[in-house]
A and B are shown apart, each in its own frame.
Chain A
Amino acid sequence: MSRIQVFQPFLPLLALMLASCGGEDTSGFIERPLSDSEKEFRLAETSMDRFRYSTSPSAAAGENSGGGASGLAYEVPEGWSEKAGSMMRDLNFTFGANGEGECYIARLPGAGGGLSANVNRWRSQMGAQPLSDEEVNALPTRPLFGQPARFITVDGTFSPGMGSNQTFPNYRLIGLILASDAGAVFVKMTGPKELVEQNSAAFDQFVSSLGVNAN
Chain B
Amino acid sequence: MASPSPNPDWSPRSWPRLVYRFFTSFKLATVVLVFMTLVTLLGTLGQVEHGLHAAKEKYFHSFLFFDKIFGIPVLLPGGLLLMILLFTNMTLGAIVKVKKRWKGFGMLISHIGMLMLLAGGFVTWAFSTDGYMALYPGMKSNRVESYREWQLEIMPLSKEGVAEKAWIYPAEQLETMMPDEPRIIQDDSLPFDVVINGYAKNGTPIPTSAPMAAGVTGKEIDGFKLSPQKPSKEAEQNLPGCFIEIRPRDGGDPIEAILWAGSYRFDPREKPMPFTFTIGDQLYGALLVKKSWTVPFSVKLDEFIFERHPGVSMARNYESRVTRFEEGQPDKPLEIKMNEPMRHSGYTFFQESFGPSGAQPGDEMFSQFAVANNPADQWPLYSLIVTGVGLAVHFLIMLVHFTTRSRKRFTSNPASA
Taking Cβ atoms with an 8 Å cutoff, the residues of A that contact B are 23-35, 37-44, 46-53, 87-88, 106, 108-114, 117-118, 121, 161-162, 181-182, 212, 214
Which chain B positions have C-beta within 8 A of A110? 203-205, 229, 239, 260, 262
Question: B143: which of A38, A109, A113 is its contact (CB, 8 Å)?
Answer: A38
Which chain A positions have C-beta within 8 A of B161? 40-43
Which chain A positions have C-beta within 8 A of B227? 111, 113-114
Q: Is there contact, CB below 8 Å, between B164 and A34?
A: yes
Which chain B positions have C-beta within 8 A of A49? 273
**A25-B181, A51-B260 known; A34 vs B211 contact (CB < 8 Å):** no
Q: Is there contact, CB below 8 Å, between B168 and A47?
A: no
Instruction: Say whether B249 faces chain A, with CB atoms less than 8 Å apart.
Output: no
How distant is the Cα of A110 from the Cα of B264 in the complex, in angstroms?
13
Which chain B positions have C-beta within 8 A of A113? 204, 206, 212-213, 215-216, 227, 229
Contacts beyond the supplied A48-B207, A161-B211: 10 A-B pairs with Cβ under 8 Å: A25-B181, A27-B184, A32-B168, A39-B162, A40-B271, A47-B275, A51-B263, A53-B207, A112-B212, A182-B357
Instruction: Say whether B99 faces chain A, with CB atoms less than 8 Å apart.
Output: no
Size bracket, chain B contacts: 35 or more
Q: Is there contact, CB below 8 Å, between A30 and B162?
A: no
Question: A42: which of B185, B239, B273 is its contact (CB, 8 Å)?
Answer: B273
How distant is the Cα of A210 from the Cα of B205 in the complex, in angstroms?
26
How distant is the Cα of A214 from the Cα of B360 in the complex, in angstroms?
7
Which chain B positions have C-beta within 8 A of A28? 185-187
Q: Is there contact, CB below 8 Å, between B358 and A212?
A: yes
How distant is the Cα of A35 from the Cα of B275 in the complex, in angstroms?
20
B:160-180 near A, CB below 8 Å: 161-170, 173
How distant is the Cα of A53 from the Cα of B224 in the complex, in angstroms?
11
Q: Is there contact, CB below 8 Å, between B163 and A41?
A: yes
B:217-233 near A, CB below 8 Å: 221-224, 227, 229-230
How distant is the Cα of A165 from the Cα of B284 in the complex, in angstroms?
45
CB pairs A–B below 8 angstroms (11 shown):
A27-B169, A29-B190, A34-B163, A42-B273, A47-B221, A48-B207, A88-B207, A88-B211, A109-B262, A117-B212, A181-B357
Which chain B positions have C-beta within 8 A of A31? 165-168, 187, 189
Residue of A with least CB distance to B287: A41
For B162, B187, B224, B273, which residue has the most chain A Cβ atoms within 10 angstroms?
A: B273
Instruction: Say whether B157 faces chain A, with CB atoms less than 8 Å apart.
Output: yes
Which chain B positions have C-beta within 8 A of A24? 182-184, 195
Q: Is there contact, CB below 8 Å, between A42 and B211?
A: no
Q: How far is the CB of A111 from chain B (nearest CB, A)?
A: 5
For A33, A46, A111, A121, which residue has the most chain B Cβ atoms within 10 angstroms?
A: A111
Q: Is there contact, CB below 8 Å, between A32 and B165?
A: yes
Which chain A positions have C-beta within 8 A of B209? 87-88
Q: Is there contact, CB below 8 Å, between B211 and A121?
A: yes
How distant is the Cα of A171 from the Cα of B202 in the complex, in angstroms?
35
Which chain A positions have C-beta within 8 A of B380? none
Residue of B with least CB distance to A40: B271
Which chain A positions have C-beta within 8 A of B270? 42
Q: Is there contact, CB below 8 Å, between B273 and A114?
A: no
Q: Is there contact, CB below 8 Å, between A109 and B204?
A: yes
Instruction: Say whether B276 faces chain A, with CB atoms less than 8 Å apart.
Output: yes
How distant is the Cα of A39 from the Cα of B166 in the complex, in angstroms?
9
Q: How far is the CB of A129 from chain B (nearest CB, A)?
A: 16
Instruction: Say whether B258 faces chain A, with CB atoms less than 8 Å apart.
Output: yes
**A25-B184, A33-B164, A37-B143 known; A108 vs B210 contact (CB < 8 Å):** yes
Which chain A positions have C-beta within 8 A of B276? 43-44
Residue of B with least CB distance to A114: B229
Residue of B with least CB distance to A182: B357
How distant is the Cα of A118 from the Cα of B210 in the complex, in angstroms?
12
Which chain A positions have C-beta within 8 A of B164? 33-34, 39
Instruction: Say whether B285 faces chain A, with CB atoms less than 8 Å apart.
Output: yes
Instruction: Say whether B142 faces chain A, with CB atoms less than 8 Å apart.
Output: yes
B:268-304 near A, CB below 8 Å: 270-276, 285, 287, 292, 294
Residue of B with least CB distance to A133: B230
Residue of A with least CB distance to B356: A182
Residue of B with least CB distance to A120: B215
Q: Is there contact, CB below 8 Å, between A32 and B166?
A: yes
Q: Is there contact, CB below 8 Å, between B212 and A118?
A: yes
Instruction: Say whether B237 faces chain A, with CB atoms less than 8 Å apart.
Output: yes
Which chain A positions have C-beta within 8 A of B223? 47-48
How distant is the Cα of A30 from the Cα of B211 in the complex, in angstroms?
40
Q: Is there contact, CB below 8 Å, between B212 and A29?
A: no
Q: How far is the CB of A199 from chain B (nearest CB, A)?
A: 22
Which chain B positions have C-beta within 8 A of A161? 211, 214
How distant is the Cα of A201 from the Cα of B29 in the complex, in angstroms?
65
How distant is the Cα of A197 from the Cα of B227 in the complex, in angstroms?
34
Instruction: Say whether B32 faces chain A, with CB atoms less than 8 Å apart.
Output: no
Which chain A positions have C-beta within 8 A of B155? 34, 41
Residue of B with least CB distance to A33: B165
Instruction: Say whether B371 faces chain A, with CB atoms less than 8 Å apart.
Output: no
For B190, B202, B263, B357, which residue has the most chain A Cβ atoms within 10 angstroms?
A: B263
Instruction: Say whether B322 faces chain A, with CB atoms less than 8 Å apart.
Output: no
How distant is the Cα of A43 from the Cα of B160 in the complex, in angstroms?
8
Q: How far is the CB of B162 from chain A (nearest CB, A)?
A: 5
Q: Is there contact, CB below 8 Å, between A30 and B181?
A: no
Residue of B with least CB distance to A43: B161
Instruction: Say whether B115 faces chain A, with CB atoms less than 8 Å apart.
Output: no
**A43-B276, A50-B275 known; A30 vs B170 contact (CB < 8 Å):** yes
Residue of B with least CB distance to A110: B204
Residue of A with least CB distance to B262: A109
